[in-house]
Structure 1
């Protein structure tokens, strides 16, 4: 089973695109809203060095931004 965590904010249009893509592809995922859980943003920055969202952790591999091809490859 794949493990997909998507780090988002409330106002990010690319986050919405990513969540819609995962739902359309029937890929289960956990959404972590870093506005509601700011401590999780520290984890993301420590792992990737990037502040922006969306960022996804797919089976232990970090993917920055809305990048369906990289998500498919990591699955």
Structure 2
């Protein structure tokens, strides 16, 4: 299974939705909490080019945020990416 990383904030409803989808698929996700900003927030911006959360990476590839993750699921491409 591909490594999944997610930058998030604890009270963000989109982060919670994305985490829940990945959890229902049995995915162990490495999470980086950026509630307080700091170096992980800067890392997220550098890696994704975006300042909003969540930012999700599957197998080191940036897939976007919550809506992007759900679009992959809807299109039937998420399971393939996770299996790689």
Please indicate, yes or no, whether the TM-score normalized by the shorter chain is above 0.5.
yes
* Matched residue count: 75
Partner residue of 1:49?
49
- TM normalised by structure 1 equals 0.85
More helix by share: 2
- For the pair shown, the structure with the greater C-alpha radius of gyration is 2
Distance 2:38 2:64 in 1: 18
1:52-74: per-residue Cα shift (whole Å, max 9, x none)? 00001110101221113177153
The 5 Å alignment of 1:1-75 reads 1-36=1-36, 38-66=38-66, 67-68=69-70, 69=72, 72=78, 73-75=80-82
1:24-72: per-residue Cα shift (whole Å, max 9, x none)? 1111111110125621111111112100000011101012211131771
Distance 2:23 2:17 in 1: 10
- What stretches of structure 1 move > 6 A for 4+ residues in a row? none
Distance 1:41 1:11 in 2: 16
